[in-house]
Amino acid sequence: MPCNLNYIPSHLHWNGREILREFQEDEKLYLRIHPEHSTPFKSITLADLSLNRDGGRSKLCNPEDVLWNLNEEDIEERYDQGIKYFSISYQGSKEYREDPSILLNKDDDNLKIKLSHNPLDCNYPHCDLNFLINDSIEVTKENWKHTLGSNEFKKIRKEARLKLHSAIIQKELVMLD
């Protein structure tokens, strides 16, 4: 489907381009953040976190592209917010990885966080973080309160927030082989 927001720059339009599953080492991921917050988690859940990938050498977007409003019902074209970023780093010698992930463990629970390119009609570089609890429970916005947002998984949720907050502060997120 074409982008119907005439103020969105054409380089951000998906227009059926391929989904890029491989992420380059040192590729930057941008996110929008409220200017008064040092972390996005003051105002959104982990399930709501989305990012724009710069594409590394392919140059899919600029940092300020994350500020474009994609909600057709909102009258603002751009958000007046800050921009944060972090770069992907890999353990080992690979330069590219397909759908990179992080594995966190806390007590009896583990959480896999997978980065995936998920283009939107008006935002080709859009990426999601997908969460899988104990290798079996996929976290979605719809089941958030009963999964990662519940008290049962509070410790592993806190661990994930710390990991992502640390990546934003250190400007680097180390992914698994």
Least confident of 23-32, 96-105, 131-140: 96-105
SS3 146: helix
Amino acid 6: pLDDT: 94
Find the helix or strand (DSSP H, E) in which 160 lies: helix 154-170
pLDDT for the residue 130: 93
Residues contacting 35, CB < 8 A, separation 6+: 80, 81, 82
Q: What are phi and psi of 16, to 5 degrees?
A: 75, 10
The mean pLDDT value for 148-160 works out to 94
Residues in the chain: 177
Going from N- to C-terminal start, the domains of the chain cover 22-175
177 pLDDT band, cuts 50/70/90, is very low
pLDDT digits (tens, 9 = 90+) for 38-91: 667 767 788 888 899 999 888 999 999 999 999 888 888 998 888 888 888 876
Give Cα separations from 74 to 33, 41, 69, 96 (angstroms). Answer: 18, 22, 8, 37
State the pTM of this model: 0.88
Percent of the chain with pLDDT over 70: 93
Q: What is the pLDDT of residues 10-40, one digit of tens each?
A: 999 999 999 999 998 889 999 988 777 766 7
Residue 92: pLDDT band by 50, 70, 90 thresholds?
Answer: low
Handedness of CA 60, 99, 167, 35 (dihedral sign): positive
Residues 6+ apart with CB under 8 A from 90: 25, 97, 100, 174, 175, 177
Q: What tokens does 74 get?
A: 């909102």
